[in-house]
Amino acid sequence: MTSRQARQMPRRHRVTLAAVEVADDQALAFRVAGHHLDRRVGASEAVAAIGLQQYPPEWGAPAALRARSLEPMPGDVIQVNSFRGAPYVVPRRDARVFTAALVPDDPGELKALVGAVNSKEARDEGFEVPEALELVAGAAREGLAGGPLGRDDFHQALRERVPQGLLPWCANCKSHHVRPGFWRTLGLIEVTYMPEKATFALAKPPRMALAKARAELVRRFLRVFGPATPQQLATWAQTAPAHSKALFAEISDELAETGRGFVLADDVKRLESPPAAKGVRLLGGHDPWVTMPDREALVRGDTALRKRMFPAIARPGVVLVDGRIAGLWKGRKQRRVLEVSVEWLGPEADVAEEAAALARIRGCEEARVL
């Protein structure tokens, strides 16, 4: 950790583990266990760890759940735009951990949520980000007052109510519409959620206190991605760095410092001796474990592997064998068959059972491993 990173946290209550040098394998094993990829758990516990990204649409979250649990998706979940504005399936009772906890108190820091390009575009039209976001939120509340709307109708409702300056032309859609950075942020400020695919409805914020949700966000982030820094949380979740730093400071008495960042003091033993992982998992390219904030920990400086794992489009999935990356996989639907091809990076393993499970998730009758 650099001296600048070390100064990010107050030292009054911190536990310093100067002697703990965390190796790459050790950190990855810690994260495998934090994501419940070392052994399968109950579905509710799996979802609660850090949520499940619903990308690719329809099968992203169920596939991530399968890697962590053999139980079906629990009924007490909700889909919201969460980290980086992406759709996530999260526990309904503590949805604020994945939404409102990410929102800075300082209105000037809201631009981190909507993105630099969207912020500049709005300012060029005479709207500061807080004002623009409130206008979009007001339009959404009014448009959804009568009940949920499908994606196209929802955007039409916004189009009818938002000032023209916030409706730039989109060449891809060949229409004027509110930029994604603004309508996706509606999930974070607890205006909308998605009761069905491509459907939006007014959110009903849970009763969890905001302070509790913010503290729990840091705890969950560190359980699955520790050791980590406030800056890594800000970058990974797409929130303001100052806000992230403040969140860490609020639970400083629960943290332990290592040479790579912070972990929860209660997790030090797990970090020092991570549990052994067993079994084969097929993780989607956008699985929460694969999207960890420091990708270099996955590729170990292998530039060619990084390019294959994280291309601009058509990202492959990861084959995890006993907690280690063993290969990259791709799936292609051929009528009622899911064809799974694997590029092995080490010794091969039997992926047939997991491929068959993914085939069912994707609506196929069988899988064929090529």
Structural domain includes residue 366: yes
Residue 337: which region, alpha, beta or left (left: phi > 0; alpha: psi -120 to 50)? beta
Range of the domain at 127: 104-188
Q: What's the mean pLDDT in 76-84?
A: 97
Identify the three-state secondary structure at position 26: helix
Q: What's the mean pLDDT in 8-35?
A: 72
Return the closest-CA partner of residue 190 out of 96, 119, 110: 96
My answer on whether 265 and 346 are in the same domain is: yes
My answer on whether 305 and 351 are in the same domain is: yes
Domain total in the chain: 2
Q: What is the pLDDT of residues 315-366, one digit of tens each?
A: 999 999 999 999 999 999 999 999 999 999 989 999 999 999 999 999 999 9
Under a CB-based contact definition with an 8 Å cutoff, are residues 34 and 63 in contact?
no
Query: Which residue type occupies 182?
Result: F
Grade residue 7 by pLDDT with cuts at 50, 70 and 90.
very low
Quote the CA–CA distance of 139 and 131 in Å, as a whole number.
12
My answer on whether 175 and 52 are in the same domain is: no
| Tally of CB atoms within 10 A around 236 | 18
Determine the pLDDT at residue 168. Answer: 87
My answer on whether 139 and 285 are in the same domain is: no
Q: What is the pLDDT of residues 32-63, one digit of tens each?
A: 999 999 999 999 999 999 999 999 998 999 99
Structural domain includes residue 285: yes
Q: What is the pTM of this model?
A: 0.92
My answer on whether 33 and 130 are in the same domain is: no
My answer on whether 171 and 217 are in the same domain is: no
Structural domain includes residue 198: no
My answer on whether 133 and 32 are in the same domain is: no
Angle at 86 between CA 83 and CA 88, to 5 degrees: 80
Under a CB-based contact definition with an 8 Å cutoff, are residues 37 and 65 in contact?
no
My answer on whether 244 and 177 are in the same domain is: no
Structural domain includes residue 200: no
Q: What is the pLDDT of residues 118-175, one digit of tens each?
A: 999 999 999 999 999 999 999 999 999 999 999 999 999 999 999 999 998 887 877 8
Return the closest-CA partner of residue 186 out of 132, 240, 234: 132
Please compute Rg for the chain using Cα positions: 21
My answer on whether 128 and 254 are in the same domain is: no
Determine the pLDDT at residue 3. Answer: 37
Identify the three-state secondary structure at position 281: strand
